[in-house]
């Protein structure tokens, strides 16, 4: 019997011949979920695949076994990356990844039927090492395709006041009131306290990046991000100072600019200019998250309260004057605008809204991208059904087409750099 998800997948591949079947498979795997069989889970404990136990964004997944390490992202045969929330209890009919000793491959299975073979991103050489102060390097940097992803501030202050983005499950520990001597904004000097700190020590970051770059040819971009910190004389001044310190520390290993992306709030022009002038940063990404004004106010109350949607948009466009066309991007959490109870009621309305946003930003030299909404029990929206596969295919296809018409490419977020944007995955044949 053909399972519903396999027939849905096959129908979609026929209906959209201009969309890579690997990208459609990726979307289907993210929507339906993937579980590892015991054989596959045993195989990924090996030194080649083991990504360890640490999760820099502090996301919990209920169904994960604490004794087993998780692998990195799944690699499809064309090197498309698939990021799976392993252990998500809501998967009711997931794909399975198995391991075959005879063939030496990981078969991708649907209800006992092999539909393809996959692989996993290999463990980077710097995992398992510690900084001079004793902090595990995999707690400092995550790996996404050829990107080193550094979460410099592992806390989001919007959670303190309960006006965090409603789809967000990052830094859920931010709700906890810091106890004296714990979780502070100070960088830790006690190596045993590294797990309790919010701000990662810049020397730990410097050493981790330096060590990662010893693996020749593996990384081609450094991405910096973190939770939102609105403190300072001017809104975000503390955060801007922090990122400048970190980027300058990383920059000690480079001459001039180095391939890098800062994913951060929309800063004032003066702050963006400081980031550009005082560091080697090459691209800047203030994420709008949700385009529609009404849905944005509902889903991103903290960002709207502190900056406001119009100002966020203006600041994003202003940043193009400093970083240049194509080096400022912004992304939405694709599908969150359809969430219950106040989201769009139809995928057509949601798509129209996102395409309007993409066109608006493209006219202004900004690369507009979409990630995929992963409903999570710890977010304010809670666990909700995801939009259908057809929505995500049309979204990816439409955004790629609009950017192409305006001569824009998602250089910093293409399939080799990031792999987290299906629309950017499609650019590889342009």
Chain positions contacting ligand SF4, by CB under 6 A: 156, 158, 164-165, 168, 170-171, 227-228
Question: CB of residue 345 vs ligand SF4: minimum separation in angstroms?
Answer: 24
Q: Please, which residues bridge with residue 162 across strands?
A: none
Torsion, CA 325, CA 329, CA 335, CA 339, rounded to 10: -120
Report in angstroms the alpha-carbon separations of 384 from 17, 298, 342, 374, 375.
30, 16, 13, 9, 6
Euclidean distance between CA atoms 223 and 370, whole angstroms: 17
Phi, psi of 390 (to 5 degrees): -60, -40
**Three-state DSSP class for residue 190:** coil
To the nearest whole angstrom, how small is the minimum distance from the Cβ of residue 313 to ligand SF4?
Answer: 16
Q: Shortest gap between Cβ of 278 and ligand SF4 (angstroms)?
A: 24
Closest to ligand SF4 by CB, 106 or 153: 153
CA dist 181 → 190, 193, 303, 318 (Å)? 11, 9, 29, 41
Alpha helix (H) ranges present in 213-324? 237-251, 269-278, 293-299, 301-306, 309-323
Which tokens sit at 65? 């076994």
Per the document, the length of the chain is 430
Select 120 or 170, whichever has its Cβ closest to ligand SF4: 170
Nearest distance, CB of residue 238 and ligand SF4, angstroms: 15
**By the 8 A CB rule, do 148 and 214 touch?**
no
Smallest gap from Cβ 381 to ligand SF4, in A, equals 12
Q: Of the two residues 109 and 158, which places its CB atom closer to ligand SF4 in the complex?
A: 158
Question: How near is the Cβ of 159 to ligand SF4 at its closest, in Å?
Answer: 6
Strands 260-263 and 221-226 come out as parallel
To ligand SF4, the closest distance from the beta carbon of 132 in angstroms equals 29
Nearer to ligand SF4, 230 or 406 (CB): 230
Beta-carbon count within 10 A of 88 CB: 20
Q: Which is nearer to ligand SF4, 40 or 152 (CB)?
A: 152
Work out whether strand 74-75 and strand 367-372 pair parallel, antiparallel, or are unpaired.
unpaired
Q: How far is the CB of 157 from ligand SF4 (least distance, A)?
A: 8
Pick the closer one to ligand SF4 by CB: 76 or 165.
165
Of the pair 80, 174, the CB lying nearest ligand SF4 is at 174
Helix (H) or strand (E) holding 12: helix 4-15
Give the residue ranges of DSSP H helices in 237-278.
237-251, 269-278
Query: Among residues 165 and 350, whose Cβ is nearest to ligand SF4?
Result: 165
Is the Cβ–Cβ distance between 153 and 198 less than 8 Å? yes
Cβ–Cβ under 8 Å, residues 367 and 410? yes
CA-to-CA distance for 132 and 129, rounded, in angstroms?
Answer: 10
The least distance separating ligand SF4 from the CB of residue 164, rounded to whole angstroms, comes to: 4
Q: Give the nearer residue to ligand SF4 in terms of CB position, either 106 or 171.
A: 171
């Amino acid at each position: 019997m053909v399972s519903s998800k396999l027939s849905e997948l096959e129908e979609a591949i026929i209906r959209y011949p201009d969309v890579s079947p690997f990208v459609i498979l990726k979307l289907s795997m993210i929507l339906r979920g993937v579980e590892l069989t015991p054989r596959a889970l045993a195989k990924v404990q090996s030194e080649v695949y083991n990504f360890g136990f640490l999760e820099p964004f502090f996301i919990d997944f209920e169904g994960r076994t604490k004794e087993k390490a998780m692998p990195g992202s799944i690699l499809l045969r064309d090197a498309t990356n698939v990021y799976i929330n392993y252990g998500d209890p809501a998967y009711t009919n997931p794909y399975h990844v198995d391991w075959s000793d005879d063939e030496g491959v990981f078969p991708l299975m649907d209800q006992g039927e092999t539909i393809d073979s996959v692989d996993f991103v290999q463990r980077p050489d710097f995992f398992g090492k510690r900084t001079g102060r004793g902090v595990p390097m995999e707690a400092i940097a995550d790996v996404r395709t050829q990107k080193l992803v550094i979460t410099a501030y592992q806390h989001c202050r919007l959670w303190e006041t309960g006006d965090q983005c409603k789809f967000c499950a990052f830094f859920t520990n931010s709700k906890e009131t810091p106890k004296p001597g714990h979780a502070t904004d100070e960088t830790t000097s006690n190596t045993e306290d590294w797990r309790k700190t919010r701000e990662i020590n810049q020397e730990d970051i410097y050493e981790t990046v330096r060590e990662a770059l010893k693996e020749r040819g593996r990384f081609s971009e450094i991405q910096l991000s973190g939770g939102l910190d609105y403190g300072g004389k001017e809104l975000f001044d503390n955060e801007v100072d922090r990122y400048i310190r970190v980027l300058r520390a990383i920059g000690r290993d480079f001459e001039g600019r180095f391939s890098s992306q800062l994913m951060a709030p929309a800063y004032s022009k003066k702050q963006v200019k400081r980031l550009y002038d005082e560091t080697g940063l090459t691209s800047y990404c203030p994420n709008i998250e949700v385009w529609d004004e009404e849905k944005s106010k509902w889903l991103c109350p903290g960002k709207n309260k502190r900056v406001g949607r119009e100002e966020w948009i203006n600041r994003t466009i202003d940043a193009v004057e400093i970083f240049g066309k194509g080096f400022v991007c912004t992304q939405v959490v694709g599908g969150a605008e359809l969430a219950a109870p106040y989201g769009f009621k139809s995928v057509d309305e949601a798509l129209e809204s996102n395409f309007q946003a993409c066109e608006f930003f493209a006219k202004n030299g900004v690369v507009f991208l979409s990630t995929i909404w992963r409903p999570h029990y710890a977010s304010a929206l809670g666990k909700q059904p995801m939009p259908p596969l057809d929505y995500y295919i049309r979204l990816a296809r439409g955004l790629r087409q609009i950017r192409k018409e305006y001569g824009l490419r998602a250089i910093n977020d293409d399939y080799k750099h990031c792999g987290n944007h299906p629309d950017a995955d499609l650019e590889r044949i342009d």
